[in-house]
Structure 1
Amino acid sequence: MNLVDFMNRFSEESACEEHLISLRWPSGFCCPKCGSRNAMRVQATHRRDSENRVPLFECKDCHRQTSVTSGTIFHKSKTPLTKWFLAIYLVANDKGGIAATTLERALGVSYPTAWLMLRKIRIAMADRNAKYKLDGIVQVDDFYLGGESKGGKRGRGTEQVPVVAGISLKQGKPQYLFMDLVSDVGKRSVLKVLSRRITANVILETDGWPTYASCAEALEVQSHLITTSKDESKNETFQWLDKAISNFKKFIDGTYHGRQTDDQLYMEEYTYRYNRRGFGDRLVERLLGACAATNLNNSTYSLKVGT
């Protein structure tokens, strides 16, 4: 869907509300308290600015009222849904990532509002990423963020921020990706990441760092293949993972200028796009769905920077 068609479809608040309802309750509203489907739609006419408030569903059995936006990233936001939907469209269609200053100008909102909107969208991406685990052949390696060290060690001895990354392969082609910040590249930190990100029956492929061998044993993976840095085939073996890492560094250095305060969510945004690179026009609808399904109160990620 091009921008003109998108704007025509979602130019009215009511159109966005109806689409949000269809995303949240495709089979019809279901009361989150009692599970009843017997409900009516009401408008809080007794409240100030009632005409600008999203509609409510009132359960006819338990009488609980549920906002159309409750349990989504839009809940309690004073920004109209029309602007939220446009923001999601722009984020979904900008492969290089969109800066808060750009969104500020495009939507006509303040910089803090644009920044918060982007962060909420990234949290939705992160929550959706967390629902999946990599399987099959999975290559894992670590890399570092923070620019070049000045007179310090490089690689695993550096003081830069370590990241564990993994990519699944099918017939030699890249499938899915994950990236996670870690405090160090010891077994405890790396095992915590791999337990969340890969299935137990993978064929794990690494560069021989002892931590990965320990993790492979702890996870009881199907097989652990090692290609060391001294192996002539290393560059070819890990070409797709190396390329993904390189492109992420360009991604964060380009649009976000290498910022260090929110690295994990930037990685979640990058991997969300990477893992859906073949979705085409469907990416907008999928991102809308992720935003509609993300309850910020239950998310692993906080709205506060760096958490």
Structure 2
Amino acid sequence: MCRSCRHQTSVTTGTIFEKTRTPLRVWLAGAWYATNQKLGVSALGLQRVLGRGSYQTAWTMLRRFRRAMVRPEREKLHGLVEVDETYLALTDRQLPLTAAGRKSKTTKVLVVMAVEIHQPKGFGRIRLRRVSDDSAASVIPFVQEAGDAAAVVRTDGSAAYLGLKSLGYGHERKVMLGAEDAAHVAMPGVHRVASLVKRWILGTHQGSVQPDQLDFYLDEFVFRFNRRASRSRGMLFYRLMEQAVRTPPVTYADVARKRRPPQA
């Protein structure tokens, strides 16, 4: 309490922990468990580990942590950057209950990827985003946000990327039709990442990610992938906590929001 104006505040004010009724000890235990599991955790798994009676509490905790996994001032990808799109098959299991029982529906969602390519081999950081289609209006803004102005962007023969040169990017096109090398050989980075993210969605989350919540799951995958070479799992916990105290408060209505809010 301020001695002058008598205003009351808390050490959690202005963080993702603001106004939470869950003890901070539980929050820290949840963050440690989530960051120390190489492939991530589901809300049900977190609920079991923490011994919390409410699935909704574990679900909300993971949603809040995912909001803190994107650092607004993070550096853009540089050097040679591969860009491509892939489809993710997501199962919506929250359809209304009918006389025949609860049904599920599989939806294909388009995701655009950017991967740093290290020379002579290896991959660096990545960026992922859900897009409505593979048109220039969808993929060009993603490239501008993901890669710095000096990056050389490698794409397939899609006409959607033809405008990159006029924006100052180096553009390396790999036309796959009739090419001697297979697509996964000509563009290994994006194909490897596409395979990994599909396996992660189907494995850790059983493919039951709600399509409208996919943005935040992609943020988590990027957070984990970009720190895969860290020798200390505790560093992931530290980075998450560092961002958690810098991320504005998140309410339940926020975590239930269907799309990630646009970046300022």
- TM-score, normalised on structure 1? 0.71
2:187 to 220, 228, 238: 238
**Take 2:64 and 2:172, find their aligned partners in 1: how far apart are those partners?**
39
Please tell me whether residue 295 in structure 1 is matched to residue 245 in structure 2: no
Establish whether residue 145 from structure 1 lines up as the match of residue 94 from structure 2: no
Q: Does 1:183 align with 2:117?
A: no
| Aligned partners of 1:146 and 1:260 also within 8 Å | no
Identity %: 33
* Residues 1:260 and 2:210 are matched in the alignment: yes
Where in structure 1 do 4 or more consecutive aligned residues deviate above 6 Å?
A: none
Give the whole-Å Cα distance in 2 for the aligned partners of 1:249 and 1:226.
25
Determine if the alignment matches structure 1 residue 89 to structure 2 residue 32: yes
Q: Which residue of 1 aligns with 2:238?
A: 285
Write the deviation string for residues 89-137 of structure 1: whole angstroms up to 9, x where unpaired: 1111112110111111111221000000000001111x32663311111
Higher relative contact order (CA 8 A, sep 6+): 2
Which of structures 1 and 2 has the bigger CA Rg?
1
- Asked if 1:78 is matched to 2:12, the reply is no
Aligned residue number for residue 99 of structure 2: none
Structure 2 distance, partners of 1:272, 1:91, is 12
Instruction: Classify 1:64/1:237 alpha carbon distance in 2 versus 1 (closer, same or farther; 3 Å).
Output: farther
Q: How does 1:265-280 map to 2 (within 5 A)?
A: 265-280=216-231
Deviation at 1:147, TM superposition (A): 6.1
Assess if the C-alpha contact under 8 Å between 1:129 and 1:272 holds in 2: no
- Normalised by the length of structure 2, the TM-score is 0.82
Give 1:291 deviation, angstroms.
1.3
Cross-structure match for 2:101? none
Q: Which runs of 5+ in 2 are unaligned?
A: 92-106, 260-264
Q: Deviations over 1:132-190 (max 9, x none)?
A: 31111100000012269xxxxxxxxxx83211101012213200001100011111111
Asked if the contact 2:90–2:109 (Cα under 8 Å) also holds between the matched residues in 1, the reply is no
Q: Does residue 170 of structure 2 align to residue 227 of structure 1?
A: no
Report the number of matched residues: 235
**Paired AA for residue 176 in structure 2:** S
1:56-75 superposed matches below 5 A: 58=2, 65-75=8-18
- What is residue 209 of structure 1 aligned with on the other side? 158
Query: Tell me, what secondary structure is at the counterpart of 1:296?
Result: coil
Secondary structure of the structure 1 residue equivalent to 2:21? coil
RMSD between superposed Cα atoms in Å = 2.3
Gaps of 5+ in 1: 1-41, 43-57, 149-158
| Residue 207 to residue 131, structure 1, CA distance change in 2 (3 Å) | same
Q: Answer yes or no: is 1:167 the counterpart of 2:97.
A: no
Are the aligned partners of 1:138 and 1:169 in contact in 2 as well (CA < 8 Å)?
yes
